[in-house]
Amino acid sequence: MSPERSKLATVTDAVIVGAGPVGLFQVFELGLLGLRAEVIDSLPQIGGQCTELYPEKPIYDIPAVPVCTARELIERLAEQIRPFAAGMHLGQEVTRVERREDGRFAVETSRGTRFDAGSVIIAGGVGAFQSRRLAVPGAERHEGNRLHYRVKDQDVFRGRDLVILGGGDSALDWTLALTQSARSVVLVHRRAEFRAAPASVSRFFELRDAGKLDFLEGQVRAIIEADGELSGVHVSTPDGLTRAVALDHLLVFWGLHPKLGPIAEWGLNLNRKTISVDTARFQTNIPGIFAVGDINDYPGKKKLILSGFHETALAAFAVREHLRPGEKVHLQYTTTSPLLQRRLGVAEERAAAQSHPAVRTG
């Protein structure tokens, strides 16, 4: 790496690839051992599968939490790791991990964020979530201009003619929201049935019957361009016809699919789409690169949040040993260790509670 590039890199003990439940708890376990972490995720928010796939579903198998929704679990983890102030770098994929001659790692993301890390912990779950793309010739040329897979700024669509593709919650929610400010909205879906909240579906048909938006059952077969800009789509409909629909912007909400992506190119021993690790350190075949949570593989592996949490504790001790070989680390309890309580930022509270014990009555 050139000196200029290394100057820009954030120096850290560990880069955690993935901000799912396991990646988040890894921050906690490293923090207890006095190690700093930077967390990167391709999604714009933390929580991995919990937030992206089932935020409102109840989880019943987290120890000592009889029930909480997936969203609540992530909120509680975020609160629990707050004392360790890990850097969160969201909306960017880790594209490069390279072991340097000195044993440290050069890590880089799709947005050009750079890290100089003593270790890398891959908590990438089933891979980086990516939007399902419109697979018709030439479509990718218009991405970020007139073809969108996310809404970053609603104002872009004000007073415009929009075509929205999809039949799930995101497609319906955005159709309803953008109908208020767009000039026209046409929702295109391959069936006249939707996999979305019943209230959104009824509202959609109410607006359609009132002439506020349009619905076209069919599939996009090709894009239409005018002066190099995306200007419409050809949609084949169940009656066997192909209709041309003019547009200013095309929004595609076909959901997300996980892709192992660049992780597959870092020289790690893979078993199908998982990374082989040992069960004492959760280290991969590359010293200093560890893997925890759904992405790792070892005899008896179970893809459960509970198992991932256990793995983070052992991986943290192994990272500490990797960074400071030979230095003894004693197991300490958060209940009784002043050092851990200082790291957690609760030492003063505990001292105050002891010098002013609560008055007992009765």
Positions in the binding site for ligand FAD (CB under 6 A): 17-23, 40-43, 48-50, 53-54, 57, 59, 61, 93-94, 123-129, 261-263, 293-294, 303-306, 308
Are the C-beta atoms of residues 72 and 50 closer than 8 Å to each other? no
Nearer to ligand FAD, 19 or 182 (CB): 19
Nearer to ligand FAD, 81 or 178 (CB): 81
Least distance from C-beta 12 to ligand FAD, angstroms? 16
Return the C-alpha torsion angle 295, 299, 303, 309, nearest 10.
-80
Least distance from C-beta 117 to ligand FAD, angstroms? 14
Gap between the Cα atoms of 188 and 171, Å rounded: 10
Q: Which two tokens stand for residue 143?
A: 């991405």
Least distance from C-beta 130 to ligand FAD, angstroms? 8
Least distance from C-beta 298 to ligand FAD, angstroms? 14
- Of residues 263, 288, 276, 267, the one with CA closest to residue 105: 288
Give the CB-nearest residue to ligand FAD. Answer: 125
Nearer to ligand FAD, 74 or 165 (CB): 74
Least distance from C-beta 19 to ligand FAD, angstroms? 6
> DSSP E strands: which ranges in 279-343?
289-291, 296-297
Query: Residue 11: beta bridge partners?
Result: 116
Write out the DSSP string of 228-268: TEEEEEEEE-TTS-EEEEE-SEEEE---EEEE-GGGGGS--
Gap between the Cα atoms of 192 and 236, Å rounded: 14
Are the C-beta atoms of residues 117 and 107 closer than 8 Å to each other? yes
Nearer to ligand FAD, 39 or 139 (CB): 39
- φ, ψ of residue 177 in degrees (nearest 5): -70, -45
Are the C-beta atoms of residues 282 and 288 closer than 8 Å to each other? no
Q: Give CA angle at 305 (303, 306), nearest 5°.
A: 105
Nearer to ligand FAD, 248 or 294 (CB): 294
Nearer to ligand FAD, 66 or 345 (CB): 66
Least distance from C-beta 77 to ligand FAD, angstroms? 10
Least distance from C-beta 43 to ligand FAD, angstroms? 5
Helices marked H in 82-131: none
Least distance from C-beta 36 to ligand FAD, angstroms? 19
